[in-house]
Chains A and B, each alone.
Chain A
Amino acid sequence: MRRLRALIVKEFIQMRRDPLTLAMLMLIPIVQLILFGFAINTDVKHLPTVVFDQSMGQESREFIQSLSATQYFDIRGYAASYDAIRRAIERGDGVVGIVFGPDFARRLARRDGAAIQVIVDASDPMSASSAIAAAEMIGLRKSAAVVAEATGTGMSPVYDVRLRPWYNRDFRTPYYMVPGILGVILTMTMMMITSMAIVRERERGTLEQLLVTPMRPWELMVGKIAPYLGVGYAQLTIGLLVGRAVFRIPMRGSLALLYLLTLLFIFSTLMWGILISTVSKTQMQAMILSIFGFLPSILLSGFMFPRMGMPTVFRYLSMALPLTWFQIITRGILLKGVGLESLALPVIALCVLIAVFLGVSLFKFHRTLD
């Protein structure tokens, strides 16, 4: 215990001697959360739209008004030809083009499939799918209204689909983005810090001196991790405060449970860094290895893209990322308000990851210099 205490005290002193790094670690959650919390919105509105109206009637104008009333379309101008639409999309002046045929009004009057062409710039699928969904909805709604008027049955549809978006009724992006970014920040900072930890001692020659003491490898690893558990919790707290104050994210479940389970997440991420540090020969190698682990964490953890959409192989791969499980825990506790009973799988998974990272690190750590 004396050795472990000496190691932890030493790490704390070294951390204190580098106040700039410490300050940055505390500032990162604030800045990144505000930046990404405001910037990222997956519900894309106000798409610049160009209209080519060959019918030039009241019917087409009315349809255009309905479209812009949804706020998804901003009518930026009228084109005189297909070519003009193409040029507008190529220049980036519009991402949506709407074309009414010359016989639009006549076919509408005959109820004979009055065609409205919606051209979308699908090189950006996220904005394209917003436009498609909004246009389809307007089309269906207006058709239903016409049919209802004609048959005199009123407005109630035959199939009455009623949507109930639980946990995030208004699809507010920050609700899931803020806890997600928090996990990403923790992954990045925790992994990078500990990935440097042992390899830095190796490069400076102090590891050689430590190896001639009776120190045990696990003591070195725990000594490196312990101070940064504190840093991780400070980041979490700052992140939650910013999320609450700036983005009004809900906190429906038990905060105590969140703090408890975050321990597993931070510990596993720190251990991952230690593993990187153990197998790296230089700090440069450690840095590159941690980026190698960090990118999949962002892309595969479900933070940006739903894991359900991934091929099976990648879904299994994502299970090896601590961030995957932290996403489930934060969304579960903050948004859904669930308790421990619903989070058994993430808890077990994180424990397994910790055991694996620790086991491989100890196996890979050599008591000798060869």
Chain B
Amino acid sequence: MKDAEAAVSTVGLTRDFGSFRAVDGVNLDIPRGAIFGFLGPNGSGKTTTIRMLCGLLRPSSGSGRVVGCDIAREGEAIRRRIGYMSQKFSLYDDLTVAENLTFYAGMYGLANAKRRERVDAMIALADLRGRERTLTGALAGGVRQRLALACAIVHEPEMIFLDEPTSGVDPAARRRFWETIADLADGGATIMASTHFMDEAEHCTSLGLMYAGKMLISGSPDALKRELTVAAGKIWQARVPDSIGFLDRIRAFVSGGILDAYIFGASVRVLACGARLPADVAGAAAWEEREPTLEDVFVHHVRSSAGMEGQRCDA
């Protein structure tokens, strides 16, 4: 049964641009109905991965299946069933809101009655009622983003790829956007969205962290945080007057009981091995134990992958 299959699954997905390996052996397994957050710094290979899954780029090696179809051989079938929104919000500026929607509805072959119904629903979804006849070029960034999403899902795709959908959009618009995404997932769609906003990652049911073309870790947000405390240690936080100078002193203990130390707002945070801080560190400030955030997870994995700090608690 095809529909019982995962929405996205890849094995060793790899893409080279000349001698540069943009995506390096990525394995993905996204169940249907998931909101998969794709995290990673700029240039880590998120866009390239999404483009391969949408059939916009051919993999150099490895294989993948999207909505049960092979990405190398069944591109046509995949295209009918997925929606894709690029980070550029590719809309026609010289068409109106309604014309853009009608155009994309036509490109997916929707019949007249169905087309009108879906265009109308998408105008409601993007909250553009009354602005149907506005030229798209005159819309503000957040509105363009909602319209771009509406155009990408006008054909009711079962799988939606969003490449940095909230870049250049204000926080209120971002929150609304994620509400829409949650609605779509409730309706049964699977969503894969790349982002580098940590607060957005909290909206996702599962996460994948990409760095330098490799998938470092994946799992649900809670599991990733738990995994950090189990594999590494506890997070301690202290407020100190001269945080930069203090950080320099604390850093001396890295790989001596401390895995990582970094500025967190006006405070300093430390990821320590085991249940306790080293005695010298513990006496230096008034430490409080904190729950790890996704940023802790993210920074820890990126740094240890880059070999910047002591990676393991050997003691």
Q: Which residues of A contact B (CB under 8 A)?
A: 2-3, 5-7, 9-10, 13-14, 17-18, 204-206, 208-215, 367-370
Contacts and interface: CB of A to CB of B under 8 A. Distances in A.
B119 to A, nearest CB: 12
Interface residues of B, number: 34
A212 B58 contact: no
Interface in B51-72: 51, 54-58
22 contacts: A2-B106, A3-B107, A5-B106, A6-B103, A7-B107, A9-B106, A10-B95, A13-B95, A14-B94, A17-B95, A205-B88, A205-B90, A206-B90, A209-B86, A209-B104, A211-B55, A212-B84, A213-B107, A214-B80, A214-B107, A214-B109, A368-B56
B57 to A, nearest CB: 5
A2 B115 CA distance: 11
B91 interface: yes
Contacts of B57: 368-370
A213 B108 contact: yes
B75 interface: yes
Given A368-B55, A368-B56, A10 B75 contact: no
A19 to B, nearest CB: 12
B10 interface: no
Contacts of A18: 94
Contacts of B94: 13-14, 17-18
A5 B111 CA distance: 12
Nearest to A369: B56
Given A14-B95, A209-B90, A214-B108, A9 B79 contact: no
B153 to A, nearest CB: 12
Given A3-B109, A205-B88, A206-B90, A211 B56 contact: yes
A14 B56 contact: no
Contacts of B51: 369
Interface in B134-180: 151-152
B76 interface: yes
A369 B57 CA distance: 6
Contacts of B92: 10, 14, 206
B75 A367 contact: yes
Contacts of B88: 205, 208
B232 interface: no
Given A14-B94, A214-B79, A209 B84 contact: yes
B126 to A, nearest CB: 16
A2 B56 contact: no
B192 interface: no
Contacts of B79: 212-214
Most A C-beta atoms less than 10 A away, residue of B91, B106, B107:
B107
A217 to B, nearest CB: 12
Contact of B106 (A3, A17, A367): A3
Contacts of B102: 6
Contacts of B55: 211-212, 367-368
B99 interface: yes
Interface of B: 51, 54-58, 75-76, 79-80, 82-84, 86, 88, 90-95, 99, 102-111, 151-152
Contact of A13 (B58, B99, B105, B109): B99
A368 B56 CA distance: 4
Contacts of B83: 212
Most A C-beta atoms less than 10 A away, residue of B55, B103, B106:
B106
B285 to A, nearest CB: 50
Contacts of A208: 56, 86, 88, 90
B94 to A, nearest CB: 5
Contacts of A205: 86, 88, 90
A209 B84 CA distance: 7
**A-B interface, 3 closest residue pairs, ranked by CB to CB distance from nearest:** A6-B106, A209-B90, A205-B88
A3 B57 CA distance: 23
A6 B107 contact: yes
B161 to A, nearest CB: 8
A59 B94 CA distance: 77
A17 B94 CA distance: 7
A156 to B, nearest CB: 74
A370 B60 CA distance: 11
B103 A368 contact: no
A215 B107 contact: yes
A213 B94 CA distance: 20
A368 B58 contact: yes
Contacts of A6: 102-103, 105-107
A10 B99 contact: yes
A6 to B, nearest CB: 3
A17 B103 CA distance: 16
Given A367-B75, A368-B56, A213 B104 contact: yes
A370 B54 CA distance: 13
Nearest to A10: B103
Nearest to B84: A212
A209 B82 CA distance: 12
A365 to B, nearest CB: 14
Nearest to A209: B90
A193 to B, nearest CB: 15
Given A7-B107, A368-B58, 6 more contacts: A3-B106, A5-B106, A6-B102, A209-B151, A212-B79, A367-B55
B32 to A, nearest CB: 20
A294 B91 CA distance: 32
A6 B108 CA distance: 10
Given A14-B94, A212-B56, A368-B58, A9 B103 contact: yes
